[in-house]
Amino acid sequence: MLIAVVSDTHRQKYYIQKVKSYIQNADILIHLGDNIDDADELGKGFKGKVYKVLGNCDFGRGAEKEQIIDVEGIRMLITHGDRYGVKYELNNLYYRALEAEVDIALFGHTHIPYMEEVKGIWLFNPGSASLPRMSKNSIGFIEIDEKGNVVPYLRQI
């Protein structure tokens, strides 16, 4: 199972088209907000399931602020991250992940890629596909193998 994770595309059409070329082989696409309409654009022609959450630049348009999904026995918290103060620290997000009993907490908002396993919970931010800070444009992927092993990684675009 291959999951593509994208965040903070901010209606940058050039990068949205570029992302499309990288996610073609994914089974699932997760868009972490800013701008939610971009998730719909990325979903056009995408063969798999698309999940999306609202970011701080999205205003109640067709999605929730947070979701918990289960993919092949792996529970994931999907959030933009703004309501957890991820620009300042990750403690609030980590404790929400503990409370929700998830294996992975996916977040955006900072425009900075981040990937760390903390006491059995992956905290994973793919960075920004279009407006990166302190890094290059990036998206994320999560591979889940037949044994349930989780392998997250980043891809510069």
Query: What integer pLDDT is reported at residue 92 of this predicted model?
Result: 98
Query: What integer pLDDT is reported at residue 81 of this predicted model?
Result: 97
Answer yes or no: is pLDDT of 134 > 90.
no
pTM for this model (two decimals): 0.96
**Residue 49 — very low, low, confident or very high, per pLDDT cuts 50/70/90?**
very high
Answer yes or no: is pLDDT of 149 > 90.
yes
Identify whether the C-beta of residue 104 lies closer than 8 Å to the C-beta of residue 150: yes
pLDDT in tens, 57-93: 998 667 899 999 999 999 999 999 999 999 999 999 9
- How much is the average pLDDT of 136-140? 97
Query: What integer pLDDT is reported at residue 135 of this predicted model?
Result: 87
Distance from chain centroid for Cα 1:
16
Query: What integer pLDDT is reported at residue 45 of this predicted model?
Result: 92
Q: Which class for 36: exposed (0-12), middle (13-18), buried (19 or more C-beta within 10 A)?
A: buried
**Residue 24 — very low, low, confident or very high, per pLDDT cuts 50/70/90?**
very high
Write down the domain spans for the chain: 2-156
> Which of 3.65.10.10, 3.30.413.10, 3.70.10.10, 3.60.21.10 would CATH assign to domain 2-156?
3.60.21.10
Q: What percent of the chain has pLDDT over 90?
A: 94
Answer yes or no: is pLDDT of 27 > 90.
yes
Average pLDDT over the chain, rounded to an integer: 96
Residue entry with tokens 């793919």: 126
Query: What integer pLDDT is reported at residue 139 of this predicted model?
Result: 98
CA pair distance 73, 102, nearest whole angstrom: 10
Identify whether the C-beta of residue 109 lies closer than 8 Å to the C-beta of residue 82: yes
- How much is the average pLDDT of 40-67? 92
Query: What integer pLDDT is reported at residue 59 of this predicted model?
Result: 81
